[in-house]
């Protein structure tokens, strides 16, 4: 089986975590014996380009082998934000060029796997029309729940979804939401996979015993991840238990704002911002922590939750569409979105019952 993966976003550099899950999944499929390639058109807005370290001089086609996975990337920008149809045509033309280059080097794939309808699914549909290759779509995007789909995008997205051989959603609630969005189309629930680096067995005997109780949290520092709710909730918990610590891994456009909020809340000694972390650094952070917390406003699944659970960490999450599939009373606590008071209570409750819930979580994970 020869599978060509078409992601809707993808890492631009080895240290880029944007779309890293798609990269890790491609590598996992390759290790399992599937012949895998990646075709990734990366088009940035002017705003996104201003926030990235990627050099515009490197725009164009890049090809490389990424841990045995042939990867073909086309870097460019959206030059016509007020005329999106032109940029869409440019994106499709670039993708077809990438696809032809890939096929010339590695042969015709048997199936296309698009991650997200917009724009990976649309590109897969265009390739399907030209070649007849069937395609599968796995949807991950929170844009549906956040009401960010534009009217001009809907016909293109519906056609792409309608013509897919199979449509997958990464959580049960998300599958139901997509059935509403795409009337008349069925979506099957298939959860995301766990990265191999997080599958190593846990040796609890080697885990350090700390006087402090450390929560960790890993995500992009942006509004939808809810750190503006988590920090005040954590500040209230610290008033009751000053030995609580919170280590936050990740970077993003709200980083400066959140640093300032933590300082204003008097959390300089309790909250540590770790910055952007590589996969192995996330693993080390979880190993050194006692529990995981993330107060997202929207999640379609939440790979980071299963990563934390695989390390034996109990989890606090929100009922935001994805974690409900993962978190239950045996491994953590769920609170409502933007419910700061309940989040504080969950932090305190998990700390007070840390031995019982941690042992139950570790036993189940092991």
pLDDT in tens, 36-62: 999 999 887 666 654 555 565 667 889
Task: Give every CB contact of residue 239 below 8 A, 6+ residues apart in sequence.
Answer: none
Does the CA dihedral 197-202-205-209 come out positive or negative? positive
pLDDT at residue 20, as a whole number: 84
Res. 366 pLDDT band, cuts 50 70 90: very low
SS3 52: coil
pLDDT at residue 97, as a whole number: 95
Cα distances (angstroms) measured from residue 304 to each of 60, 219, 220, 227: 32, 8, 11, 15
Lowest-pLDDT choice from 4-13, 131-140, 225-234? 4-13
Fold: same for 2-193 and 202-365: yes
Structure tokens at 328: 């239950």
pLDDT at residue 46, as a whole number: 60
CB-based contacts of 265-269 (< 8 A; 24+ apart in sequence): 265/231, 265/232, 265/235, 266/235, 267/231, 267/234, 267/235, 267/238
Q: Are 192 and 301 in contact (CB under 8 A)?
A: yes
Q: How many CB atoms lie within 10 A of CB 7?
A: 26
CA distance 114 to 138: 6
Res. 357 pLDDT band, cuts 50 70 90: low
Question: Looking at residues 24-40, what average pLDDT do you find?
Answer: 93
Q: Are 270 and 234 in contact (CB under 8 A)?
A: yes
Q: Are 302 and 296 in contact (CB under 8 A)?
A: yes
CATH topology of domain 2-193: Rossmann fold (3.40.50)
- Closest Cα partner for 40 from 85, 84, 5? 5
Question: Looking at residues 161-184, what average pLDDT do you find?
Answer: 95
Domain ranges of the chain: 2-193, 202-365
pLDDT at residue 86, as a whole number: 86
pLDDT at residue 77, as a whole number: 76
Burial 36-56 (b: 16+ CB within 10 A, else e): bbbbbbbbbeeeeeeeeebee
Structure tokens at 246: 């919170």
Q: Are 74 and 40 in contact (CB under 8 A)?
A: yes
- Closest Cα partner for 336 from 346, 350, 349, 326? 346
Say if residue 361's pLDDT is above 90.
Answer: no
CA distance 159 to 136: 13
Helix axes 122-131, 84-106, angle to 10 degrees: 50
CATH H-level, domain 202-365: superfamily: Glycogen Phosphorylase B; (3.40.50.2000)
Question: Looking at residues 142-158, what average pLDDT do you find?
Answer: 93
pTM, whole model, 2 decimals? 0.80
The number of CA neighbours under 13 Å toward the Cβ of 143 is 15
CA distance 296 to 306: 15
Burial 302-338 (b: 16+ CB within 10 A, else e): bbbbbbbbbbbbbbbbbbbbbbbbbbeeebbbbbebe
Question: Looking at residues 286-300, what average pLDDT do you find?
Answer: 95
Radius of gyration of the chain from its Cα atoms, rounded to whole angstroms: 21
């Amino acid at each position: 089986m020869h599978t060509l993966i078409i992601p809707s976003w993808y890492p631009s550099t080895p240290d880029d975590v944007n779309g890293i899950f798609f990269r890790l999944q491609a590598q996992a499929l390759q290790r399992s014996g599937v012949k895998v390639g990646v075709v990734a058109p990366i088009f940035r807005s002017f705003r996104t380009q201003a926030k990235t370290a990627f050099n515009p001089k490197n725009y164009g086609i890049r090809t490389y082998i990424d841990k045995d996975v042939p990867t073909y990337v086309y870097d460019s920008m959206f030059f016509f934000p007020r005329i999106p149809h032109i940029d869409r045509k440019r994106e499709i033309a670039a993708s077809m060029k990438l696809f032809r280059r890939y096929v010339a080097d590695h042969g015709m794939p048997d199936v296309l796997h698009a991650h997200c309808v917009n724009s990976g699914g649309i590109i897969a549909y265009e390739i399907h029309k030209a070649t007849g290759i069937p395609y599968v779509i796995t949807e991950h995007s929170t844009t549906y729940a956040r009401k960010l789909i534009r009217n001009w995008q809907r016909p293109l997205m519906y056609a792409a979804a309608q013509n897919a051989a199979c449509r997958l959603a990464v959580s049960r609630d998300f599958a139901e939401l997509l059935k509403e969005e795409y009337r008349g189309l069925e979506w099957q629930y298939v959860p995301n996979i766990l990265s191999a680096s997080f599958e190593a067995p846990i040796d609890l005997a080697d885990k350090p015993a700390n006087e402090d109780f450390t929560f960790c949290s890993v995500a992009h520092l942006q509004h939808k991840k809810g750190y503006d709710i988590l920090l005040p909730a954590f500040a209230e918990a610290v008033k009751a238990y000053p030995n609580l610590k919170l280590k936050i891994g990740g970077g993003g456009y709200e980083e400066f704002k959140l640093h300032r909020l933590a300082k204003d809340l008097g959390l300089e000694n309790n909250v540590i911002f770790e910055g952007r972390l590589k996969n192995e650094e996330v693993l080390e952070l979880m190993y050194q922590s006692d529990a995981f917390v993330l107060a997202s406003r929207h999640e379609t699944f939440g790979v980071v939750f299963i990563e934390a659970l695989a390390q034996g960490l109990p989890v606090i999450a929100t009922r935001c569409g994805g974690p409900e599939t993962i978190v239950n009373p045996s491994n953590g606590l769920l609170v409502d979105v933007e419910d700061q008071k309940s989040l504080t209570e969950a932090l305190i409750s998990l700390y007070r019952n840390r031995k019982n819930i941690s042992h139950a979580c570790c036993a189940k994970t092991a």
